[in-house]
Structures are given as C-alpha cells and as structure tokens.
Amino acid sequence: MIVMSFWEALSIYAEMVIARSNSIASQPFLQIFSKMFLMITLAGGFLLAGYMLGFKSFKNIWIVSAISITSILIVEPILAWTIFQQMPTTGAMIGFALGAIGLFISIFF
C-alpha cells in the first residue's frame, strides 16, 4: 500500500514539475519533457506492479483502487503547495477529507 502510494506520488510529481517548468520556460520544452517522460514511465511501470501485488494481497480491486485514488487525493495537494506555493481551496480540502474517510471505510468495512 505504501509502495503503491510512493509511485503514485512520483507520477504526480513528474506531472507537476513539467507543468511548472514549462510555465517558467527555464529549459527547452523537449529537455523538460524527456526527463519527466522517463520519470513517469518508471513510476507507471512500478504502479502497475503495485496494482498487481495489491490485488494479489487484498483479493479486491476496489480496495486497491481506493488506495490509489486516496493517495492521489492526499499527495497532490501537498505537492501542489510544495511546487507551486499555492494553498488548496475549500473544495480541495473537503475532497481531501472525504477521500481519507473513503479509504478507511473501504479497508475496514
């Protein structure tokens, strides 16, 4: 579960870094794109392995999906604030709370 969240976070990081770097235009587009493409390809491959191992251990794809979606809901606002220095809106905070509640409900019930 933690490993899958890490690769999900790495994938989100690559998406946000490429968006930020392209808006600043400190490097040529192709140079930024190639670095982040390699990173997201690596993260995606391990994320697939995480889905395989998660399904094998939980025997339920819905729990694996809930873990994936919740890790996105938790990690993405943190990375957005870290990379872009923007605070999440009220709606994003509510979504974060509901995602965390959904994770616990899907695992324990």
Give DSSP secondary structure letters for 24-72.
HT-S-HHHHHHHHHHHHHHHHHHHHHHHHHHHHHHS-HHHHHHHHHHHH
Q: What is the pTM of this model?
A: 0.72
What is the Cα–Cα distance from 52 to 22, expressed in whole angstroms? Answer: 34
Residue-by-residue pLDDT tens, the chain, 109 positions: 678 888 888 899 998 888 888 777 777 888 888 988 999 999 999 999 999 999 999 999 988 988 888 888 778 888 888 888 888 789 988 987 887 788 788 778 8
Q: Where are the domains of the chain?
A: 2-108
